[in-house]
């Protein structure tokens, strides 16, 4: 894969709003995982027409998520590559209502795309080799933590993932292994601005 400019990007609210679209998230994910591609190639991978794909690429480029791959592009075929390896959002909650709405919309989009990936993995599970089925898990845990301990625990998990990502495993049988990390207070159990909603949490 062509090297990327920096490890991650923390988008402005305006850029985050532009990214809050399932097609754009999928498109950016493909460029990050599979390397540079043309609009035509991405259209085939995503089941879109080339016009729609080009539009979404222009939106991603306008906000700095993708750039032209000048090593491959020519007058006939325009190649695109991801500008960063990952997208990060600030841990600090937005102070204004508009910022909160933008972040909520982005997280809703992330949830949609991640759920689709999880569903596809479950559908494919029955045809996976035994060793990959044995390595996979679909689990959840509920812990009793303070906000401080919860944040420290999440940071520990993220550091573990970052460390593993730096390893260049050249063994036979290597494949991309997805780990989705969701960590949050169980809905309905923490007092919010409108009070708790006891009894609504599954």
User: Which residues pair with residue 68 across a beta bridge?
Assistant: 80
pLDDT confidence tier of residue 199, bands split at 50, 70 and 90: very low
Where along the chain do its domains lie?
1-128, 139-202
- Is the C-alpha dihedral spanning 90, 94, 98, 100 positive or negative? positive
User: Which residues pair with residue 90 across a beta bridge?
Assistant: none
pLDDT for residue 32 is more than 90? yes
Class of domain 1-128: mainly alpha
> For residue range 50-72, what is the model confidence (pLDDT) as tens digits?
999 999 999 999 999 999 998 88
CA 68 to chain centre: 21
> Using an 8 Å Cβ cutoff, are 20 and 68 in contact?
no
pLDDT for residue 133 is more than 50? yes
> For residue range 83-129, what is the model confidence (pLDDT) as tens digits?
999 999 877 777 788 889 999 999 999 999 999 999 999 999 999 99
Nearest of 52, 54, 45 to residue 79 by alpha carbon: 54
- What's the confidence (pLDDT) of residue 194? 56
Report the share of the chain in percent with pLDDT over 90. 73
**Distance in angstroms (rounded) separating the CA atoms of residues 184 and 13:** 22
- What's the confidence (pLDDT) of residue 62? 97
Which pair of structure tokens corresponds to residue 160?
A: 């573990």
- What's the confidence (pLDDT) of residue 97? 86
Which pair of structure tokens corresponds to residue 189?
A: 């159990």
Average pLDDT, the chain: 89
pTM, to two decimals: 0.82
């Amino acid at each position: 894969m062509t090297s990327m400019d920096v490890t991650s990007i923390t988008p402005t609210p305006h850029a985050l709003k532009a990214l809050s679209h399932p097609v754009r998230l999928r498109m950016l994910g493909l460029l990050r995982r599979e390397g540079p591609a043309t609009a035509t190639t991405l259209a085939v991978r995503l089941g879109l027409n080339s016009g729609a794909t080009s539009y979404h690429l222009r939106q991603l480029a306008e906000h700095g998520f993708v750039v032209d791959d000048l090593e491959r592009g020519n007058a006939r075929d325009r190649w695109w590559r991801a500008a960063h390896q990952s997208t990060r959002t600030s841990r600090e909650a937005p102070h204004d209502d508009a910022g909160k709405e933008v972040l909520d919309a982005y997280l809703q989009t992330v949830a949609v795309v991640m759920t689709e990936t999880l569903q596809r993995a479950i559908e494919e599970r029955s045809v996976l080799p035994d060793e990959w089925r044995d390595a996979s898990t679909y689990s959840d845990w509920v812990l009793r933590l303070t906000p401080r301990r919860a944040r420290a625990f999440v940071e520990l998990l993220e550091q573990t993932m970052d460390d593993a990502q730096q390893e260049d495993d050249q063994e036979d049988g290597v494949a991309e292994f997805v780990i989705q990390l969701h960590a949050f207070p169980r809905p309905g159990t923490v007092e919010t601005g409108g009070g708790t909603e006891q009894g609504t949490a599954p």
